Chains A and B, each alone.
Chain A
Amino acid sequence: MSATHADTIVMPTRKSPVPAITFAGLILILAILPAFVYPIFVMKLLCFVLFAAAFNLLLGYTGLLSFGHAAFFGGAAYVTAHALKVWQVTPELAIIAGVVTSIVLGLIIGVVAIRRQGIYFAMITLAMAQMFYFFCLQAPFTNGEDGIQGFSRGNLFGIIDLNETMNLYYFIAAVSVLSLALIWRIVNSPFGQILRAIRENEPRTISLGYSAQRFKLAAFVMSAGLTGLAGALKALLFQFATLADVAWQMSGEVILMTLIGGIGTMAGPVVGAGILVGMQNFLATSGLPVTMVLGGTFMICVLLFRRGVVGEFLHLLERRKG
């Protein structure tokens, strides 16, 4: 996916105030949003924003299309739910358990998948994630088709009751903003620059002395870990983890979010997740076939808006500047 967004790369040479202002604005919006919008909806949105941003770290900045991110999302959701229900640990420990699971999964799948590139990479990640799906289908702790449900969210650090909606809201909002800041930091670090170099021209990066395989694996594991965090938060929020979280349709959804928003842009996943979650909420009550509409959207995006909403907007701005 290299040629289309090469023009969006901006490496700040000096400290730009824009990111700081953007993050301050984001925090402000999140602080006042529950007054206007149903908080559960905002929390669901934040989980998917984080999911899409983590996925974009891999697709947008490293150029690797993973078709298996549902494994990390759902795997972490299962372990978090299991930890809360059976081990009865505090929520922060359950989330950590979920994230560690997705990191380990990311290492295993990553080591196999980075041996091939491009479409093979996509097919391998899809197949490995499907293998994990079958594992979840058969493993006793996931309760098969029923999933894990009916557990308390517990008290954060043993003191803050997360069954209170607003407590949960501020917790999820804080974790999401911090994670987005972390992703921004990764992307705009020397490490992120090497990732982009690999995306643009892998042989050349290797010839410059960087071990492309190690950087790709590192990016893959980071993306998997952050995806796991999104899955863990989702399990905490809805108090269930099911097979739908690990199914390949979930991997497809996150690709669509990133694609609609704009691959390789910081704001893209945020916008894309917003559009898709909003669309699903709307479609759920409209009686239209959701999958069919998603598929059609996919086709239209690939044919007509490959830059995505944010990408097209940036492109337009640039054209205006001349």
Chain B
Amino acid sequence: MTTIFGVALPVLTGQFLIGLINGSFYALLSLGLAVIFGLLRIVNFAHGAFYMLGAFAAWMLLNYAGIGYWGALFLAPLVVAVVGMVIERTMLRALYGLDHLYGLLFTFGLALLLEGGFRHYFGTSGQPYAAPEALRGATNIGFMVLPNYRGWVVLASLVVCLGTWAIIEKTKIGAYLRAATENSTLVQAFGVNVPVLLTLTYGFGCALAGVAGVLAAPLFQVSPLMGSNLIIIVFAVVVIGGMGSILGAIVTGYMLGIVEGLCKVFYPEAANIVVFVIMAIVLLLRPAGLFGKDS
């Protein structure tokens, strides 16, 4: 059997794949955080809760409305986006002029409210959610056997991430968004409705978390606490990447997922903390983060 550094190749590629999948979620979530932070200057602590909400929306659509995976993939993020936009319109908006820390504290409370609520009504044990018919089974791709659904998750998250990047960098609405990030007063003076832009941006960021939630539903169980531990790792990812850059958030997300996966092969005891250790090292060497511009 082929070995690399004394580790069997299937083990290595298997963990690499797991890392890539975790990285897909890190990338999707940190991308949403970066988009929201860029314009609203709010660190969305509720991002993990919106991810959980996306998974639960898919589960509820299946069990209460009979809508399957493919429908949920479009509807669930929409539900999450609407919830996010309502919250932005009614409450979050009041905090824009204040210290950024209040936004963090408010969304922290929101995360507790959502997770506490779901835990109260659904319990802590996870709900199973089956992968769609078309993506079951596995394909042998020569050097390893790839479960189809996992391959789909990596592909889908890549498409969503690159699509988001293209929208922000290459379209008119993306140009508005980038301009408003630089100087929202001036953009408003040019006749762009900035308050609506803020609401849509928050909704879009939340929808990205919702997409991640639907993608995660067949992989992990749908549980109220699925987002709360993930969000802390994603925060570390965001600190490592620096929140200034969209592409930076995506690249750092995938990179750290893979590093974490490989760490499970070579030094499993540290796999849980490797992201945090990298964060500390990056902060000591490059406080602004790998892709950060701000000081």
Contacts and interface: CB of A to CB of B under 8 A. Distances in A.
Nearest to B92: A303
B94 interface: yes
B116 A294 contact: yes
A296 interface: yes
A294 B115 CA distance: 11
Given A295-B112, A295-B116, A119 B94 contact: no
B232 interface: yes
Nearest to B272: A134
A303 B106 contact: yes
Contacts of A127: 232-233, 235-236, 239, 275-276, 279
A105 B43 CA distance: 26
Contacts of A119: 43, 100-101, 104
Contacts of B112: 252, 291-292, 294-295, 298
Given A126-B232, A291-B119, A295-B109, A115 B284 contact: yes
Contacts of B110: 295, 299
Interface in B83-116: 91, 94-95, 98-102, 104-106, 108-116
B116 A124 contact: no
A289 to B, nearest CB: 4
A3 B109 contact: no
B36 to A, nearest CB: 12
A298 B119 contact: no
Contacts of A294: 109, 112, 116
A206 interface: no
A299 B91 contact: yes
B106 A135 contact: no
A100 B91 CA distance: 42
Given A65-B104, A306-B102, A123 B113 contact: no
A277 interface: no
B283 interface: yes
Contacts of A168: none
A297 interface: yes
A126 B272 contact: no
Which of B91, B104, B276 has the largest count of A CB atoms less than 10 A from its CB?
B276
A126 B235 contact: yes
A42 interface: no
Interface in A48-87: 65
Contacts of B95: 302-303
B239 A298 contact: no
Nearest to A304: B94
A306 B99 CA distance: 11
Contacts of B277: 131
Among A138, A252, A291, chain B packs the most CB atoms within 10 A around the CB of: A291
Interface string A269-299: 0000000000000000000011111111111
B8 interface: no
A265 B68 CA distance: 54
Contacts of B116: 289-295
Residue of A248, A295, A301, A303 with highest tally of chain B CB at under 10 A: A295
Interface in B222-245: 228-229, 232-233, 235-236, 238-239
A302 B105 contact: yes
Interface string A253-280: 0010001000000000000000000000
A127 B235 CA distance: 7
A290 B235 CA distance: 25
Nearest to B280: A112
Contacts of A248: 228, 232
B120 interface: yes
Nearest to B100: A119
A71 to B, nearest CB: 12
Contacts of B287: 115-116
Interface string A132-146: 001101100000000
A276 to B, nearest CB: 13
Contact of A302 (B109, B113, B117, B269): B109
Nearest to B286: A115
A318 to B, nearest CB: 20
Contact of A131 (B102, B115, B276): B276
Interface string B41-56: 0010000000000000
B145 interface: no
A149 interface: no
12 contacts: A3-B99, A123-B239, A127-B232, A290-B116, A291-B115, A291-B116, A295-B110, A298-B108, A299-B106, A299-B109, A299-B110, A303-B106
Interface of A: 1-3, 65, 112, 115-116, 118-120, 122-124, 126-128, 130-131, 134-135, 137-138, 248, 252, 255, 259, 289-299, 301-303, 306
9 pairs of A and B residues whose beta carbons are closest in the complex: A298-B109, A295-B112, A291-B116, A295-B113, A292-B116, A289-B120, A131-B276, A299-B109, A134-B272
Given A1-B101, A131-B273, A299-B113, 9 more contacts: A115-B283, A116-B283, A118-B99, A122-B104, A123-B236, A138-B272, A301-B109, A302-B105, A303-B91
